[in-house]
């Protein structure tokens, strides 16, 4: 059956398979670290700080990684990311007395670099496999890759917790490293060695985009992801446990299901927003879906502010929020790949995901601080503010999609 597939489709499937396996280990590793250090008596905010370098180096990696991908090729940056993740996993298999906070933060920093190299490479590679005239196909492929990644990251939460119970911390890390080693060997053998390599030598100064549409989209993305993580990373799990009395397994299960559902909606986003090649989504879609997200966030924030059935508001409201957020995220992911230049696309995508990582970093820090100062409700109102900024910024995107202009 594989013999009948086109070369581009085979490459897409290989990139997706690579990305899927990496994503499962990324989600599982996060759950392993959270549960293991919780069992050692760490508080939730202390555990969250273990991921500070993970988020910080995501900003740096996306900014520099796009330039490296343009010069060296996406094959090399993707494979280097896999190798770095394997090293990070093995680093945590040291005897328990050596497993100090600085070592874990260092391993998480390496894992953050690896994750963003892998993600940037995977997303950008699709640009090289689909022509500009096939915008509907491009949107569909990006949505499937993005949605499946988040669904599998949620599955990784489950897998990490299950393996921790069944075979223990160190054996789980060894097992995940072995799987990724097999994936790396396959990638080294079959992935196109020159994929994404720029024809002209990209200058380091070009890591900052001079494309207005990409700069606007990146700013919108930063506030979009800040609006999610300001309540999701620390505030929500602590609130569910401390206010509703949920067990850790119930809290973790809810958040894992939220991420899986979020990923599934991302995958079908083109069916919801439309994906016609002759009229691809652009400013209007981005602005309207951001406004819809703002409306859902305002309802949840108001419900918690006035204590209107808070448990129903949180569970039901955030499910609706997650679905609309997923459409926004998938739409943005398509637009950046579509807007990116043909030669040196990884630099545009890297700059965009740098803004994405910056939003996560801001959201993570604010989530702990704001929840400590004013509880979940203040986190939700700040989320509304960030979404309002995303909506206003989206109005600055091009009125017509560039490819719609070129084909008219």
11 Cβ neighbours under 8 A, 6+ residues apart: 125, 129, 191, 192, 195
Task: Report in angstroms the alpha-carbon separations of 156 from 126, 141, 203, 326, 381.
Answer: 24, 22, 38, 18, 30
If pLDDT is split at 50, 70 and 90, which confidence band does 2 have?
low
Neighbour tally for 204: CB within 10 Å: 11
397 closest CA partner among 326, 339, 346, 327: 339
The DSSP code sequence of 69-102 is: HHHH-HHHHHHHHHHHHHHHHHHTTS-GGG--HH
DSSP symbol at 213: H
What is the enclosing helix (H) or strand (E) of 146? helix 135-167
Please report the pLDDT score of residue 406 as a whole number: 42
- Average pLDDT of 114-129? 78
CA torsion through residues 130, 134, 135, 137, sign: negative
Neighbour tally for 18: CB within 10 Å: 25
Asked whether the predicted pLDDT for residue 83 surpasses 90, the reply is yes
For the domain made up of 2-197+208-407, the CATH class stated in words is: mainly alpha
Rounded-to-integer distance, Cα 213 and Cα 379, Å: 29
The whole model's pTM is what? 0.77
Mean of per-residue pLDDT scores for the chain: 82
Please report the pLDDT score of residue 204 as a whole number: 47
Q: What is the pLDDT of residues 12-66, one digit of tens each?
A: 778 888 888 998 999 888 878 877 777 777 765 677 677 788 878 888 887 777 6
If pLDDT is split at 50, 70 and 90, which confidence band does 99 have?
confident
Q: What is the SS3 assignment for 158?
A: helix
Query: Best-predicted range by mean pLDDT among 6-10, 56-60, 222-226, 361-365?
Result: 222-226
How is the chain split into domains, by residue range?
2-197+208-407
Asked whether the predicted pLDDT for residue 399 surpasses 60, the reply is yes
Q: What is the pLDDT of residues 354-392, one digit of tens each?
A: 888 899 889 988 887 888 888 899 999 999 999 999 999
- Higher-confidence residue: 132 or 379? 379
Do 135 and 277 meet the contact criterion of CB atoms below 8 Å apart? yes
């Amino acid at each position: 059956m594989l013999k009948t597939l086109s070369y581009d489709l085979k490459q897409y499937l290989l990139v997706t398979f690579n990305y899927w396996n990496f994503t499962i280990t990324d989600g599982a590793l996060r759950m392993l670290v959270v549960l293991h250090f919780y069992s050692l008596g760490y508080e939730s905010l202390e555990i969250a700080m273990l991921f500070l370098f993970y988020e910080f180096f995501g900003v740096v990696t996306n900014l520099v990684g796009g330039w490296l991908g343009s010069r060296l090729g996406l094959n090399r940056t993707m494979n280097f990311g896999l190798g770095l993740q394997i090293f990070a996993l093995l680093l945590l298999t040291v005897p328990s007395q050596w497993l100090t906070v600085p070592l874990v933060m260092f391993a998480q920093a390496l894992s953050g670099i690896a994750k963003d190299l892998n993600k940037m490479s995977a997303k950008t590679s699709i640009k090289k496999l689909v022509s500009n005239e096939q915008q509907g196909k491009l949107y569909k492929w990006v949505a499937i890759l993005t949605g499946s990644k988040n669904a599998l990251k949620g599955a990784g939460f489950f897998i990490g917790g299950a393996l921790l119970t069944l075979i223990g911390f160190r054996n789980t890390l060894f097992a995940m490293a072995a799987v990724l080693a097999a994936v790396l060997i396959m990638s080294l053998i079959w992935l196109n060695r020159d994929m994404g390599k720029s024809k002209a030598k990209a200058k380091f100064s070009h890591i900052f985009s001079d494309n207005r549409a990409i700069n606007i989209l990146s700013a919108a993305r930063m506030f979009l992801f800040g609006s999610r993580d300001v309540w999701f990373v620390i505030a929500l799990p602590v609130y569910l446990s401390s206010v509703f009395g949920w067990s850790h397994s119930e809290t973790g299960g809810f958040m894992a299901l939220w991420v899986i559902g979020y990923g599934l909606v991302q995958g079908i986003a083109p069916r919801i927003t439309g994906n016609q090649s002759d009229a691809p989504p652009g400013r209007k879609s981005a602005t309207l879906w951001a406004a819809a997200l703002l409306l859902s966030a305002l309802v949840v924030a108001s419900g918690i502010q006035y204590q209107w059935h808070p448990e129903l508001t949180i569970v039901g409201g955030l499910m609706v929020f997650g679905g609309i957020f997923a459409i926004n995220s998938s739409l943005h992911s398509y637009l950046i790949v579509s807007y990116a230049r043909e030669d040196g696309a990884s630099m545009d995508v890297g700059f965009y995901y740098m803004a994405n990582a910056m939003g996560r970093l801001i959201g993570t820090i604010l989530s702990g601080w704001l929840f400590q100062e004013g509880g979940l409700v203040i986190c939700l109102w700040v989320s509304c503010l960030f979404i309002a900024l995303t909506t206003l910024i989206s109005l600055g995107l091009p009125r017509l999609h560039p490819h719609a202009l070129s084909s008219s």
